[in-house]
Amino acid sequence: MFDVIIIRYGEIGLKSESVRRRFEDKLIRNIILAFRKESIIDVRIKKERGRIFLRSKNMEKAKNVLKRIFGIVSISPAVETIADIEDIKEKALELIEKRINGIKTFAVRSTRVGKHDFTSQDIAIEVGREIKEKFNLRVDLDDPDLELYIEVRDDKAYLFFEKIRGPAGLPLGSQGKVLSLVRNKRDILALWCMLKRGCSAKVISYGMDKELKDFLRKWYAESETEIAEEKDIKRNMNGCLALVVGESMRDIDFDRDKNFNLPILRPLVSFSDEEIDRMIGEIGI
């Protein structure tokens, strides 16, 4: 049904022009690397300001990979057409017809970038009228059974039903290196938080080799993560900007801070035990 995946990023768009381009290119390289690991080779990627568009013969597998790439805020499998209201209406009716079972109410959400002889509201009204008349559905803008999103960008229009969340943050490897101590699942969660901020990492594992390997594989972080061969922390500090641990407020080890000349980062310190456990479950540690 869908022929393109819209990839959205967040913080990258706030950077200066040169930094934004560098981060976009890094994100695209990370996407390509992750796809290679999953043996997805038939991929075409196009970059526009604020969006990356990806095409693949295996859209379902591509979607599942993109959900686990740092720097991606959300993705949407979409249908592409030209930025003409009549063509948009035609595509909208085709899409709704395939989703009509069990649907009683709907809403059309439209956005527009570029110069056109119509507004976003015009799109929503025209398309909504066609859907209502053909399928006898009721408009409900507050809690619809089905939402149709229409995004018009210059001479193209994209229609989709969902915005699938990614991990957000910054592209992996776009920031400095941290030294991560991994003794339990909380330490892995702390590492995840730093990878999400774009850091690369050197990791000292204390009996967590399998869990760590599975975690890095799942989040496509192997290329930016070095597993230290020895457990001596001071010897592994070279080239690292900070030490990362998974301590919460109640179990902070301040004695450790005195022994090292690196900043100690504790990404979990503001979370409750319940929140930490929920996050561990969500990222699949």
CATH number assigned to the domain comprising residue 196: 3.40.50.620
Q: What is the pLDDT of residue 76?
A: 98
* 91 and 185 assigned to the same domain: no
CB 148 within 8 Å of CB 127: yes
In this structure, the answer to whether residues 124 and 29 fall within a common structural domain is no
Instruction: Please tell me whether residues 53 and 88 are part of one structural domain.
Output: no
Domain-located, residue 166? no
Residue-number span of the structural domain to which 65 is assigned: 4-77
Both 43 and 113 in one domain: the answer is no
User: Of the residues 55, 77, 99, which one is the last residue of a structural domain?
Assistant: 77
Domain boundary residue among 95, 119, 154? 154
12 and 94 in one domain?
A: no
Same-domain check for residues 130 and 98: yes
| Same domain for 192 and 114 | no
Q: What separation in angstroms does the CA of 234 have from each of 89, 229, 246?
A: 64, 13, 18
Residues 209-258: tens digit of each pLDDT: 999 999 999 999 999 999 999 999 999 999 999 999 999 888 887 777 78
CATH of the domain at 150: 3.30.2130.30
Would 171 be classed as within a structural domain? no
The 10s digit of each residue's pLDDT in 109-123 is 999 999 999 999 999
Split the chain (285 residues) into runs of 10 and give each run's mean pLDDT: 94 86 96 96 90 94 97 98 96 95 96 94 96 96 97 96 97 97 97 98 96 97 95 93 93 80 94 96 94
Task: Please report the pLDDT score of residue 164 as a whole number.
Answer: 97
For residues 272 and 253, what is the distance between their CA atoms, to the nearest angstrom?
Answer: 17
* Confidence at residue 73, expressed as pLDDT on a 0 to 100 scale: 97
pLDDT of residue 50: 87
Domain assignment present for 161: no
In a domain? residue 203: yes
Predicted pLDDT at 74: 98
Residues 207 and 266 in one domain: yes
Examine the fold and report which residue of 121, 154, 187 is the final residue of a domain before the chain moves on.
Answer: 154
Q: Are residues 19 and 62 in the same domain?
A: yes
DSSP sequence for 151-213: EEETTEEEEES--EE---SS-TTSS-EEEEEESSHHHHHHHHHHHHTT-EEEEEESS-HHHHH
Burial 107-131 (b: 16+ CB within 10 A, else e): bbebebeeebebebeebbebbbebb
Residue 276 falls within a domain, yes or no? yes
Verify that 186 and 242 share a domain, yes or no. yes
Residue 88 lies in a domain: yes
pLDDT of 256: 77
Query: Is residue 120 domain-resident?
Result: yes
Asked, for residue 170, whether it belongs to a domain, the answer is no
Q: Are residues 72 and 91 in the same domain?
A: no
Q: Residues 231, 206: contact at Cβ < 8 Å?
A: yes
Q: What is the CATH number of the domain that holds 71?
A: 3.30.70.1510
Structural domains of the chain, count: 3
Same domain membership, residue 249 and residue 203: yes
